[in-house]
Amino acid sequence: MGIFDNMLGSEESLFRDTVALDYDYIPKLIPHRENEQHYIASCIKPLFSKRNGKNLLIYGSSGVGKTVACKHIFQELEEKTDSVIPIYVNCWQKNTTYKIMLELCDQLEYRFTQNKKSNELFKVIKEQLNKKSVVFCFDEIDKAEDLDFLYSILEEIYRKTILMITNHKDWIFNLDSRLKSRLIAETLHFRPYSEAETRDILKQRMQYAFVPGVWQDDAFELVVKKTAELEDIRSGLYLMREAGNLAEDESSKKITIKHVQNAIKKLDDFSIKKSTDLDDELHALLDLIKVNSGLKIGELFTIYQKQGGKSSYKTFQRKIDKLEKGRFVSLEKITGGKEGTTTIVRYSKVKTLSEF
């Protein structure tokens, strides 16, 4: 017997279209974000009558639909009008003013960028954009290393809405007050989805991605439970894909609870495996935060020293920042308390799945 004899033929795949499980796939409908989308649209609306739009800071934890809601609106804008130009930039990928200027040129199809500095590039961009109205979306804005591009846009682009997305609301606290007052007109919170909402969203993706009837009810239900617990839709997409792959590997015609259980194990392994990439020092620090999650950074430092930690407070802070960059921990800045500004350090339940 040949080794391929027992395997499903490709026409028998459990998947119909795996693209629908990609994190950057944009479904036709974005259920349970109607209100948020309307709110965003209302900030853009003045641009249609050639007035200036409103700026908006969108915040919420990872995997709650911030990016997809904005991209969906942009898609609709592109279909409906030529007078409002949507420009989306991910500041994790384009994290300096220069890179952002190059990206804007690229989106405006301006090719003569060689040997030009940021301000020269912006001159070209400005000329083009001021002929129309613009909606900018700067996603993961907290990852931008400088914000000169925002100053330029605020001052020199006439009719615009600037949407800024971040997982960390406290990003605003560190903003220069001049920028803050001009930039942050409104804020919009994306709260995590309830279990019922999570079910709807995953069901929709399941229907796009899988052949009808291959999912057993209890298996899908377990995906929903785990996803709702992690409050990150990405984990659900990951689990559906993995469970589907595991079922196919066994030539099973159904995706069962056992496949999902094994997929969940892989998900857990993944967050552990990633954290083993950290060097020993950071790893020890992460372990410390894990058992002391939710403490103020100063309190954490005291414990760290008691346990023999040798770094200075500054170095300690830098390490915490590093862990936050890798999303192993989350930081929340508290202002105006007894001790002035302080930071709460929390262990992240699951490392976000965006780097898969």
Ligand X SMILES: Nc1ncnc2c1ncn2[C@@H]1O[C@H](COP(=O)(O)OP(=O)(O)O)[C@@H](O)[C@H]1O
Question: What is the smallest separation between the CB atom of 199 and Mg ion, expressed in angstroms?
Answer: 21
Compare residues 152 and 166 and give the one whose CB is closer to ligand X.
166
Question: What is the smallest separation between the CB atom of 197 and Mg ion, expressed in angstroms?
Answer: 18
Yes or no: say if 91 and 101 are a contact pair by the CB < 8 Å rule: no
Compare residues 55 and 352 and give the one whose CB is closer to Mg ion.
352
Yes or no: say if 214 and 245 are a contact pair by the CB < 8 Å rule: no
Query: Which one of ligand X, Mg ion, none interacts with residue 150, CB within 5 to 8 A by kind?
Result: none
62-81: which residues touch Mg ion (CB under 5 A)? 67
Interacting residues with ligand X (CB under 6 A): 23, 25, 27, 30-33, 60, 62-68, 201, 233-234, 237
Alpha carbon distance 328, 330 (integer Å): 7
Alpha carbon distance 255, 209 (integer Å): 13
Strand-pair category, 329-337 with 186-189: unpaired
Compare residues 62 and 133 and give the one whose CB is closer to ligand X.
62
Question: What is the smallest separation between the CB atom of 196 and ligand X, expressed in angstroms?
Answer: 12
Compare residues 25 and 110 and give the one whose CB is closer to Mg ion.
25
DSSP structure string for 87-134: EEEETTTS-SHHHHHHHHHHHTT----TT--HHHHHHHHHHHHTTSEE
Query: Which one of ligand X, Mg ion, none interacts with residue 110, CB within 5 to 8 A by kind?
Result: none
Structure tokens belonging to residue 161: 């809405």
Compare residues 138 and 316 and give the one whose CB is closer to ligand X.
138
Query: Which one of ligand X, Mg ion, none interacts with residue 294, CB within 5 to 8 A by kind?
Result: none
Task: Find all residues with CB under 8 Å of 262, minimum gap 6, and list them.
Answer: 242, 243, 246
For Mg ion, what does the binding mask look like between residues 14 and 53, x meaning CB under 5 A? ----------------------------------------
Alpha carbon distance 25, 206 (integer Å): 13
Q: Rule CB under 5 A: which residues touch Mg ion?
A: 67
